[in-house]
Chains A and B, each alone.
Chain A
Amino acid sequence: MARRQRQRTERSRLCLLDAARAVYGTKGYQSVSVAEIAKRAGRAHGTFYLYFDNKQDVYTALLAGFGDQTAARFADLTLTADPSVAVAELRTLLTAFARDRDLWELLEELAAHDESAARLRSDLRAALSRRLADNVRLTGVDLAGLDQHLLGELFAAMIFRLARLGHLPDTIDVTAAHLSSTWRRVLGLPNDELDSRRTDFVIG
């Protein structure tokens, strides 16, 4: 009995989080009301307050879940293997960004005014930077005086920018291929994979 109650409780909470996400997509943070979220979730207005204190609370929770997922994705990113694997990894990442576009927008909007959202954004950026710096180190190239961490941070800047603004220069495939090639050129890794894949994607 207790287990079923817990499941119902968890389901309601997730329902409200999903509803908050959906309503944000159509209206933007300022215009959203708790009533709309509850209605969208198919729950009574009062039920909302069993789970969340207010609008800010539900959106903070939504972003926290998104943050955990994104950090995990960044922690897994591996660009050290052969070029086609690197391109596939980047493609997967960019696809995830597109799917979570609304949440990246929410993060940008809240980070402009809210300390904890701004901190979450910095933390995500730092997580990506650390992972890329690790990747740099694992390739084993001689950086000859360049700073491995700074290179990681700059490459992270390149990728994080795409996540924040959701504005890609071309399709996901083409963008991923260019990110991978840029990575390899900067580190001086052989890039013959790109030439053999030239006919595999449409240019221009």
Chain B
Amino acid sequence: MAVAADRSARTRAALLAAAQTVFAAKGYGDANVDDIVAAAGRARGTFYLHFENKAAIFAALLDDVSAEMADQARSIWQADRPFESVLASIRTYLDDFAAKRSLWRLFDEVTATDRELRPLRDRWVDTFAARVQRGIETAPDGTDDPLEPKVSAHLLAGMLDEASRQLYLEGWARDPDEVAVHLATVWARTVGYAADSESRPTGRAREPR
């Protein structure tokens, strides 16, 4: 049984990798299941054991990538150094986005053009924002905070994702490190982490260098 499960997992992974290549090469619209199974070296029937159709494998690609990114972000958190943790998470997000940029470009194109896939995009946005929300809710400093974590999370996640697009899909001429520090500062001040470990944000902004 373990062997069969293994083989199944490997087949699924092969199909996903093939799909990513085929989508990147042909675009989502022109790609089809036959292309994918050919690239994966598998039978057509095998595809349908794992995925219902082209849209389903595309959704699975997205889920896998976002799960990877979530895992990366989680392992960085250090409660006694919230600002540094946020900065590290943001840096990781930017790097992950850069590494998968062709997938994100594809994602944008497909969800913009194919109306049926739009719920997929909204679902992805909400999932990412929910993770950010949990991070905010378990944060040290923000208890007397009239801002709703759910709303702040959505806005901060949106800012981060949008900035990633600008850097890696739209040729924004900014140094990613400088962008990361500013993103982390906006984040930390919104949530109420001190920008440095001694003080809270005041009328005069202070930022450790």
Interface residues, chain A, with chain B CB atoms under 8 Å away: 28-30, 105, 108-109, 111-113, 122, 125, 141-147, 150-151, 153-155, 157-158, 160-162, 164-165, 167-170, 174-175, 178-179, 181-182, 185-190, 194-195, 198, 203-204
Contacts and interface: CB of A to CB of B under 8 A. Distances in A.
Interface in B115-137: 115, 121-122, 125, 129
Given A143-B205, A194-B146, A178 B155 contact: yes
Interface string B29-69: 00000000000000000000000000000000000000000
Interface in B143-186: 146-148, 150-156, 158-159, 161-163, 166, 170, 174, 178-179, 182-183, 185-186
Nearest to A189: B203
B113 A109 contact: yes
B189 A178 contact: no
A83 to B, nearest CB: 12
Contacts of A162: 158
Given A147-B178, A150-B182, A151-B186, 8 more contacts: A154-B159, A154-B182, A168-B154, A169-B154, A182-B147, A185-B201, A188-B201, A188-B202
10 contacts: A30-B113, A109-B112, A112-B108, A146-B205, A158-B162, A174-B148, A174-B151, A185-B189, A185-B192, A186-B190
Given A157-B162, A167-B122, A169-B151, A144 B204 contact: yes
B207 interface: yes
Contacts, number: 128
A160 B150 CA distance: 19
B162 A190 contact: no
Nearest to A113: B109
Contacts of B154: 168-169
B162 A160 contact: yes
Interface of B: 108-109, 112-113, 115, 121-122, 125, 129, 146-148, 150-156, 158-159, 161-163, 166, 170, 174, 178-179, 182-183, 185-186, 189-190, 192, 201-207, 209
B200 to A, nearest CB: 9
A112 B113 contact: yes
A198 B185 CA distance: 25
Given A170-B148, A178-B152, A161 B161 contact: yes
B149 to A, nearest CB: 10
Q: Top 4 closest A-B pairs, CB basis?
A: A169-B154, A157-B162, A161-B158, A158-B159
A169 B150 contact: yes
A94 to B, nearest CB: 12
A153 B152 CA distance: 18
B97 to A, nearest CB: 13
Nearest to B181: A146
A117 B7 CA distance: 46
A158 B158 contact: yes
A157 B122 contact: no
